[in-house]
Amino acid sequence: MSLLAIIGEALRALRLNRLRTGLTMLGMIIGVAAVVLMLAVGQGAQTTVNQAISSMGSNLFIVVPGATSSGALRSAAGSVQTLTMGDALAIAHLPSIKATAPLITGTAQLNYGANNWSTSVTGVTPDYFNVRDWPAESGALFTEVDLRSATRVVILGQITARNLFGDEDPTGKTIRIKNSPFVVAGVLAPKGQSLDGRDQDDAAFIPITTGQSQIFGNQFPGTIRFLMVQGRSDEVMDEAETEINQLLRQRHRLAEGTENDFTVRNMAALAAVATGAAKVMSIMLGSIASISLLVGGIGIMNIMLVSVTERTREIGIRMAIGANRRAILTQFLLEALVICIMGGLIGVAIGIGGAWAVSRATDMVVVITFGMVALAFAFASAVGIFFGFYPAKKAAALKPVEALRYE
Amino acid sequence: MIPQRHVSGDPLLKVENLSKTYSLDSGVKGGGTVNSQVLFDVNLTIERGEFVAIMGHSGSGKSTLMNILGCLDTPTSGHYWLDGRDIASLSDDELARVRNRNIGFVFQGFNLLKRMTALDNVATPLLYAGATRSESRKRALELLRQTGLGNFAAYQPNQLSGGQQQRVAISRALVNNPQLILADEPTGNLDTQTSREIMAIFEQLNREQGITIVLVTHEDDIAACTRRLVRLQDGRVVHDGRVPT
């Protein structure tokens, strides 16, 4: 019997029991839809994390002062000020380092006309924007000249610009930061959320020298809040970390055996952890969803077993008129497979629709790839073959004379 | 598609010392199985073109014999040659092929596939033989016309009368041009008038197409339509010869 004819027989048999077929299929539909939806949500989380990581800049170290101990008392990293502009310059000269960007941070009130906005004001060097891979969208970034002469210029993040200026073009306008006038040099391109969920566009940047001398009073002149260091490439990251540690220990005159008074964090390693966590979540969601697919498969096996018993006489008749075991096996296996494939198709459609609804209803990013749809579909078919095989085998193994006699 | 007819003088069907024993679970724990012998050393030869009735009381083993002759069941011992081929040596698939191509079955309860049109019922054996749907439907319609059911091709079995259903079953049995038709009480569920019509079809097939027909019955007037009578009693052949008139 040709495969096409057997498929015809399978479809006919399934049509005869519409309700039963539908309910069995529902198991597959729910399973496949759940797998697609969960994979989409997991993949979305991964994408969000990856975006946040790449928005930070690549091959990055963050060096924070602290992790010192004076006697038995340990203070938190960053609570003492041991890093200086000099450290930043020295590190920048290391062979494995591409650039450094020292930062000082604070919060300030910004005024433009009647508008005001409170945001984080960060004192940076021009290299900061290279390290962060963050270009200006309009206007210009400040230069070494601004840095050296501690000019009162400011570069605004998207959110800050919108809150102060609305639709007006901020470039060249003068705003007040802590009552000092600053000229807006430019507005940065949008950057989005950071890993910790803060909006990076809600910010303003001024030359670090201007910040040190005019905005943030500091009892230790020349100290910085923390330091971003960019390695030359990912291969030299380990080497760079060692070099930074050695250099800073030497510059800070730390004796052998004492602890560092600074901490070097490899952001790539942190990023790997975050990506790893997102991936684990993705896999976990997928596996939980596939359990429902498994349950759907058991439903198929159950109904196929009932069907084989009910149709024992039909099987007997078919054998009497010339069906061999393979034809019977194929017929029942195909019935299970047709349920799975149709359920799979509907499930994929519902999963995609569900993912779309989730992304509309919440801020969650969902990502659907061809790969995950194919995976869900392949899994559904595998479930159909696996759970359909035993009942089909049972049908094919019936003895013609006994099957015919079955009432 | 249909095997070449044997040129040798082999009889169509030859059974030698055929026995059949059923092993049944005794139902008692540790009691093992209970053997019940249904056929004892049956010898039977049927030539091509014969029209044979097998008679016997219930329990005489006639249904078992029919099942073995139809390759639906296997004997416990003895030999069975169909068209010169030793059936015991055939695999399951080869048996299915023999049932499909060499034998046509007609049952007492018609045994049509439910919720399938008369046409598709008749066409199904051809599909198992590997024919396409369209050519098998064409051939099926031809046979339905021959048995006078050309107008009922699209009907399902439960929309047809018993006589009509049996004609569909006969059409199905004939669809692969078999050498042998095995009919197990084909008129058992039919009234006298319809029985006569069905028997007329069998007689015509035997006379005009030379198809060998073996039928099981317990009605004397049905057996009277045939030309040879085999009577079974308690699993043994007790009479083989002319039909008493």
In a domain, B193, yes or no: yes
Over 80: is that where the pLDDT of A368 sits? yes
Least Cα separation, residue A1 to chain B (angstroms): 4
Question: Tens-digit pLDDT profile for chain B (245 aa)?
Answer: 434 444 456 889 999 999 999 887 777 777 777 888 999 999 999 999 999 999 998 889 998 999 999 999 989 999 999 988 999 889 999 999 999 999 999 999 999 998 889 999 999 999 999 888 889 999 999 999 998 899 999 999 999 999 999 999 999 999 999 999 999 999 988 999 999 999 999 999 999 999 999 999 988 989 999 999 999 999 999 999 887 76
Mean pLDDT of A145-160: 90
For residue A399, list chain B residues with Cβ-Cβ distance below 8 A. Answer: 73
Mean pLDDT of A68-75: 52
Residue-number span of the structural domain to which B124 is assigned: 49-75+91-241
Judged by average pLDDT, the poorest of A176-185, A190-199, A334-343 is A190-199
The 8-class DSSP code of residue B157 comes to: G
**With an 8 Å Cβ cutoff, are A319 and B93 in contact?**
no
Least Cα separation, residue A321 to chain B (angstroms): 5
| 3-class state of residue A207 by DSSP | strand
For residue A404, list chain B residues with Cβ-Cβ distance below 8 A. Answer: 72, 107, 111
Name the residue facing B92 among A317, A318, A324 (closest C-beta). Answer: A324
**With an 8 Å Cβ cutoff, are A323 and B172 in contact?**
no
For residue A325, list chain B residues with Cβ-Cβ distance below 8 A. Answer: 92-93, 96
pLDDT in tens, A191-212: 887 767 778 889 999 999 888 8
Please report, for residues A402, B95, B103, the alpha-carbon distance to residue B73 in angstroms, rounded to integers and kept in the order given.
9, 10, 14
As given in the structure block, the two tokens for residue A381 are: 């078919």
In a domain, B222, yes or no: yes
Least Cα separation, residue B244 to chain A (angstroms): 32
In this structure, which amino acid lies at residue B179? Answer: Q
- Note the pLDDT of residue B3: 40
CA-based end-to-end distance of chain A:
27
In a domain, B111, yes or no: yes
In a domain, B34, yes or no: no
**B67: closest chain A residue by CA:** A401
**A404: closest chain B residue by CA:** B111
How big is the A-B interface in CB pairs under 8 Å?
A: 69
- CATH no. for residue B202? 3.40.50.300
Please report, for residues A235, B10, B105, B222, the alpha-carbon distance to residue B229 in angstroms, rounded to integers and kept in the order given.
97, 21, 19, 11
d(CA B42, CA A5): 41
Contact A33, A344 (CB under 8 A): no
Angle at B233 between CA B232 and CA B237, to 5 degrees: 45
**With an 8 Å Cβ cutoff, are B97 and A324 in contact?**
yes
What is the tally of structural domains in chain B? 1
Least Cα separation, residue B193 to chain A (angstroms): 27
Q: Strands, E, within A149-254: which ranges? A: 153-156, 174-177, 180-188, 203-207, 226-231
Over 80: is that where the pLDDT of A177 sits? yes
d(CA A225, CA A64): 7
**B172: closest chain A residue by CA:** A321
